[in-house]
Amino acid sequence: MSSLRHLLSTILLVLSLATIPLPIQAALPAMVDGQALPTLAPMLEQATPAVVNIATESRVRLRNPLLDDPFFRHFFNIPNRPRERQTQSVGSGVVVDARRGYIITNHHVIEGADTITVTLRDGHQLDAKIIGSDSESDIAVIQVSARDLTALPLANSDQLRVGDFVVAIGNPFGLGQTVTSGIVSALGRTGLGIQGYEDFIQTDASINPGNSGGALVNLRGELVGINTAILAPSGGNVGIGFAIPSNMVSRLMNQIVAHGAVRRGQLGVSVQDLTPDLARAFKLSISQGAIIAQVSPRSAAAKAGLKEGDVVLRIDNRPVRDSKDLRNAIGLLEIGETTRLEILREGQSLVIDAKVGEYVSAKAVGEEINPRLAGAVFEDIGPNSPLAGRVRGVLVNEVESGSPAARAGLRSNDVVAGVNRHVITNTQELQQLASASGSLVLDLIRGQNKLYLMLR
């Protein structure tokens, strides 16, 4: 009987404890309606170790015209020692080959760096060396020596669609590794003036200073792009960021690893956009494409049978919307590679295979352009030139001493950026604008300076 009373009292005690209100906890349940809550954590646990922080140090020589004068230095007893200033910058990178230690980043992240330090997610620091870079596309490959690296697999960026979810991983403002999410806002963005070759993925995932060179991944943790730039009118993120597609990154990386640089070929054509007015003039029913305006003699295009007036519709099964699309596609091809062009010629569809040739920079002799330029030789700034991607214009390759061009003040390594206030980008435009009689005003870039030179 006593045992029964003890059991009843125990039951009453449990029931009374059950009525006591428990404190409310501010935490989401592990499941809702029997379903697990969505989370990116498992994917990020696999992907984030492949994204690294990059810190660079550079020594910049400070120049003072007075200190370059030997008499001034002697008079004031100034030692002949170069003055230097040390600069530091931070960015991000992505391990794409764990075995060989290859890391992809932006060219502008490591440009001019004397030392490069890579910091892994676990805090381990490694010295890196530059394998090669390409300023035109803003891609660079660096290498570290380490075991047990984690690499990101590359996705096929051609399969991306507007609206796909993406995640940006990087080192914004040097704070350390940070993750932001968003969607693909647009594809194939060009004409931004950021790089020479542009085919950007636009995303609203927050990309801030320091994210450059970081990863843009899909929800499977695959690399779809390398973060490179933001549109920031007020200096901060406004939800418009740009990434270089992984397919472009892969092709450029292969060339950089093989050759230390990107060896771009050329077809030897000048192209322009197919505008509605041109479409009507050519009696075309299409509204997109690139018109071949000029075919260089003995070029790859000439050997393949391309002609002026041909409209390029597709290249290697990819649609060509305008001249930038065609230029970007050709810029990714290696010398000797064969490309397939689908064209429209006088209303007839044709398919032409062309073997990409080596880039040969066009040159122009000054006296053949204008007598006042006699003695100077001008040359296009090619894709492999150190000036490529930095300045646009025509390089003054050489100037003969005592020639009219030399007496007028033209010097070797000047860059002619404009003629009579018209911007130029190649020797053909220089010839067209500088051959006319009358005043001749050249807009020059000389080192870090800009100046106007009038030739009478």
The tens digit of pLDDT for each residue in 154-193 reads 999 989 999 999 999 988 766 778 899 999 999 887 766 5
Which of the pair, 20 or 98, is modelled with greater confidence? 98
pLDDT of residue 323: 82
As a CATH number, domain 46-144 is: 2.40.10.120
pLDDT band at 49 (very low <50, low <70, confident <90, very high): very high
Lowest mean pLDDT among 280-289, 312-321, 403-412, 422-431: 280-289
Average pLDDT in the chain: 81
Ordered by start, the domain boundaries in the chain are 46-144, 157-259, 265-358, 363-455
Please confirm, yes or no, whether 74 is among the known catalytic residues: no
Query: What spatial distance separates the first Cα and last Cα of the chain, rounded to whole Å?
Result: 126
Considering 89, 92, 107, 108, which one is annotated as catalytic?
Answer: 108
pLDDT of residue 22: 43
Domain 157-259 has CATH 3.40.1160.10: no
Lowest mean pLDDT among 17-21, 29-33, 168-172, 291-295: 17-21
Does residue 81 have a pLDDT over 70? no
Lowest mean pLDDT among 128-132, 176-180, 340-344, 370-374: 176-180
Considering 135, 212, 246, 323, which one is annotated as catalytic?
Answer: 212
Domain 265-358 has CATH 2.60.120.860: no
Q: Check the CA dihedral 247-252-255-257 and report its sign.
A: negative
Please confirm, yes or no, whether 212 is among the known catalytic residues: yes
Residues 6+ apart with CB under 8 A from 127: 115, 116, 117, 118, 144
pLDDT of residue 347: 80
- Are the folds of 157-259 and 363-455 the same? no
Considering 134, 138, 199, 325, which one is annotated as catalytic?
Answer: 138
Does residue 123 have a pLDDT over 80? yes
Please confirm, yes or no, whether 138 is among the known catalytic residues: yes
Q: Which of 452, 446, 436, 440 is nearest to 395 (CA)?
A: 446
Q: Which of 51-65, 157-171, 195-209 tops mean pLDDT?
A: 157-171
Q: Which CATH superfamily is domain 363-455 in?
A: PDZ domain (2.30.42.10)
Does residue 223 have a pLDDT over 60? yes
